[in-house]
Amino acid sequence: MSIRATAPVFRATCARRVAQPLQPLRNPALRRRFATGAGPEVPPPSPPRKSNSPYALVAVGAAALGAAYLFFGTSGSAKDTAKELGSAARGAAASVEGKVGLRRGKDEYQKVYDRIADSLEVEGYDDGSLAPVLIRLAWHASGTYDKNDKTGGSNYATMRFKPEAEHGANNGLNVARDHMEKIKKEFPWISYGDLWTLGGVAAVQESGGPTIPWRPGRIDGFEHNVTPDGRLPDASKAEDHLRFIFNRMGWVEIRLPAFNDQEIVALSGAHAMGRCHPDRSGFEGPWTFSPVTFSNEYFNLLINEPWVWRKWKGPAQYEDKKTRSLMMLPTDMALVKDKSFRKYAEKYAKSEDEFFKDFSAAFSKLLELGVPESQWAGEPWAMGSQ
């Protein structure tokens, strides 16, 4: 049954967003929002530094990469060592590339952004947009970061490889990866990590969300860089688990703190978008009545509507008492049950501006987890609709 068909009674009692029909993406109003620079202030990119022999420096990195393969054998630990060196060489080449100004400019990445934005609407798929599943891909590609051993994160795009692609938490993300593969064919020069994270940025912005500061610099890793299963949150758990998972992220090297309570709540607000699929996570249904619109509606509903356990054969989840057509995960409900989390959920329910500001900062930070500082060429950009 469609959401719109089940919603009318509930919609009348809910805040403005709920009453809206599913909104088309890239509509003029949203485009204007970006064109006028609404959203957080984003500093302009730093000009790339010049060097007399940039190509020679990149050649050094590339040569190291080749040498790593040629020098070491093709089996056992020698192969692993070669791959380690390969990753290091790619990282070194990326650092050099960024530092000497060889990286493509913002205009080139903007073309990729536009292509992604134009591809979001897909009639017949879920609620008509790939934006939610692209946001989930960007988050799952980044949220594996472990500050303790500095593995995981968006740098190597390791979800391309079988073990990680098949982790239970990533069920269904093949839809997003396959879609991005088509874009990659048109722009083969972009790394997967940059492509997937830019996809998340475009998906949020084109759905009416805030501007997300973003910059390129991620490199493609190897299969041996895949992360162990269990780094992403388990939706059946509660507040302690959420803190454990999100505190494991964070970045000691550049003094980014692990995600705090406020950031955990802000990030969870992405559940305004999309839905749960029984064949992916086992859970079922959307969180809001406008699952292709990025808004603070998730918090409005979480705070203001009564939620009860759903009686069904699937995993334990909540449903809204009035229409029984919306859902909340146990981890979503932890945001209202835990006192510290609740403070922020209430704040975001009251003010969409506050939510957008905090989501933008936290999501931008999430997307950079695992990328060594040396690989960035400058400050993040504000990509936008053309």
Residues of the shown chain interacting with ligand HEM in the complex, contacts defined by CB under 6 A: 132-133, 135-136, 139, 172, 233, 235, 242, 267-268, 270-271, 273-277, 280-281, 283, 329, 331, 363
Catalytic residue, from 139, 140, 167, 271: name it.
140
Q: How many CA atoms lie within 13 A of 152 on its CB side?
A: 24
For the bound state, the minimum distance from the C-beta of residue 354 to ligand HEM, rounded and expressed in Å, comes to: 16
Number of C-beta neighbours around residue 114 at 10 A: 16
For the bound state, the minimum distance from the C-beta of residue 6 to ligand HEM, rounded and expressed in Å, comes to: 18
Q: Kindly state the DSSP code that residue 308 receives in the 8-state scheme.
A: E
Please give the Cα distance from 368 to 359 (Å, whole number): 14
Closer CB to ligand HEM, 300 or 364, in the complex? 364
Tell me, rounded to whole angstroms, the distance of Cα 273 from its chain centroid: 12
Based on the residue annotation, tell me whether 140 is a catalytic residue of this protein.
yes
Closer CB to ligand HEM, 160 or 271, in the complex? 271
| Crossing angle (nearest 10°) for helices 192-206 and 131-142 | 140
Closer CB to ligand HEM, 72 or 359, in the complex? 359
For the bound state, the minimum distance from the C-beta of residue 374 to ligand HEM, rounded and expressed in Å, comes to: 26
CB-based contacts of 35, cutoff 8 Å, min separation 6: 384, 385
Please write down the long-range contacts of 224-230, taking CB distance under 8 Å and 24 or more positions apart: 224/80, 224/83, 224/84, 225/87, 225/151, 225/156, 225/158, 226/158, 226/161, 226/163, 226/164, 227/144, 227/146, 227/151, 227/152, 227/158, 227/164, 229/163, 229/167, 229/168, 229/169
| Residue nearest ligand HEM, Cβ-based | 274
For the bound state, the minimum distance from the C-beta of residue 241 to ligand HEM, rounded and expressed in Å, comes to: 8
For the bound state, the minimum distance from the C-beta of residue 16 to ligand HEM, rounded and expressed in Å, comes to: 21
Burial 249-273 (b: 16+ CB within 10 A, else e): bbbeeeeeebbbbbbbbbbbbbbbb
The residue type of 206 is E
CB-based contacts of 209, cutoff 8 Å, min separation 6: 294, 295, 356, 359
Based on the residue annotation, tell me whether 287 is a catalytic residue of this protein.
yes
Q: Is 283 in contact with 12 (CB distance < 8 Å)?
A: no
Q: How many CA atoms lie within 13 A of 285 on its CB side?
A: 23
Catalytic residue, from 251, 287, 307, 381: name it.
287
User: Could you tell me how many residues make up the chain?
Assistant: 386
SS3 for 364? Answer: helix
Closer CB to ligand HEM, 128 or 172, in the complex? 172
Catalytic machinery residues: 140, 287
